[in-house]
């Protein structure tokens, strides 16, 4: 009889634990936001080939550059072999996701060269790879982009996915002027996908 009573107690405890797990999952599921994990739709050409074809307005020097600012130097580009020179310590994350190239450009406020915005565009090859990197780099406390799109504003920067690119923009200060400039560029990139049709 003692073995039966012990088995009954163990069974009840196991069922209670499973019930607790089921209740916790149900509670967490109620707070699930599918938009937070959605992969953004790519333009038809990007979906078909998995490649992003640069169009007018894409990349440094295009129509999505920050208005009212001027280039603060030449654009820099990096490939798989030189990525670690730019982002020492995080290159493996990008390379494992399918990194193809990185293009960075800095822009400054005319008359105040210390106030800058740097935009870096990581070409990842596919929208899924760009989203994978964005989610790995996602900042706590980020806010949705005012213009929509798949990204966030956080920590004096704007971070987004557009087509097969993951884009980071970081300002030299947290002024409203630079925040607005980055939000406008983010909106331009998110709505035009850098000029793709």
Query: pLDDT band at residue 152, thresholds of 50, 70 and 90?
Result: confident
CA dihedral of 53, 152, 182, 134, whole degrees rounded to 10: -40
Query: pLDDT band at residue 94, thresholds of 50, 70 and 90?
Result: very high
Cα–Cα distance for residue pair 64/194, rounded to 1 Å: 7
Mean pLDDT of 30-53: 47
Architecture category of domain 35-195 in CATH:
3-Layer(aba) Sandwich (3.40)
Mean pLDDT of 121-146: 90
* 46 vs 153: which has the higher pLDDT: 153
- Identify whether the C-beta of residue 160 lies closer than 8 Å to the C-beta of residue 149: yes
- Check residue 41 and give its pLDDT: 47
Cα–Cα distance for residue pair 90/113, rounded to 1 Å: 28
Residue closest to 161 by CA, chosen among 31, 46, 33, 45: 46
pLDDT digits (tens, 9 = 90+) for 98-117: 999 999 999 999 988 899 99
* 133 vs 153: which has the higher pLDDT: 133
- Identify whether the C-beta of residue 172 lies closer than 8 Å to the C-beta of residue 107: no
Whether residue 76 is predicted with pLDDT greater than 60 in this model: the reply is yes
CA dihedral of 50, 61, 81, 182, whole degrees rounded to 10: -80
- Check residue 57 and give its pLDDT: 39
- Identify whether the C-beta of residue 143 lies closer than 8 Å to the C-beta of residue 154: yes
- Identify whether the C-beta of residue 123 lies closer than 8 Å to the C-beta of residue 102: yes
Mean pLDDT of 152-177: 89
**Domain map (residue ranges) of the chain:** 1-32, 35-195
- Check residue 175 and give its pLDDT: 85
State pTM to two decimals: 0.66
Cα–Cα distance for residue pair 174/164, rounded to 1 Å: 28
Cα–Cα distance for residue pair 129/135, rounded to 1 Å: 10
């Amino acid at each position: 009889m003692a073995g039966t009573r012990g088995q009954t107690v163990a069974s009840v405890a196991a069922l209670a634990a499973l019930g607790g797990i089921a209740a916790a999952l149900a509670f967490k599921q109620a707070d699930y936001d599918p938009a937070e994990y959605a992969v953004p739709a790519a333009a038809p050409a990007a979906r078909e080939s998995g490649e992003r074809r640069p169009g007018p307005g894409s990349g440094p020097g295009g129509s999505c550059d920050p208005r009212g600012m001027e280039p603060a130097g030449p654009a820099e580009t990096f490939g798989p072999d030189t990525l670690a020179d730019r982002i020492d310590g995080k290159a493996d994350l990008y390379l494992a996701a399918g990194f193809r190239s990185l293009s960075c450009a800095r822009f400054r406020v005319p008359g105040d060269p210390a106030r800058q915005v740097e935009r870096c565009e990581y070409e990842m090859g596919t929208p899924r790879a760009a989203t994978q990197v964005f989610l790995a780099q996602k900042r706590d406390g980020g806010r949705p982009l005012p213009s929509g799109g798949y990204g966030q504003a956080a920590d004096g920067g704007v971070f987004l996915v557009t087509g097969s690119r993951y884009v980071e923009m970081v300002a030299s200060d947290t002024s409203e002027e630079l925040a607005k400039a980055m939000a406008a560029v983010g909106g331009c990139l998110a709505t035009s996908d850098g000029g793709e049709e």
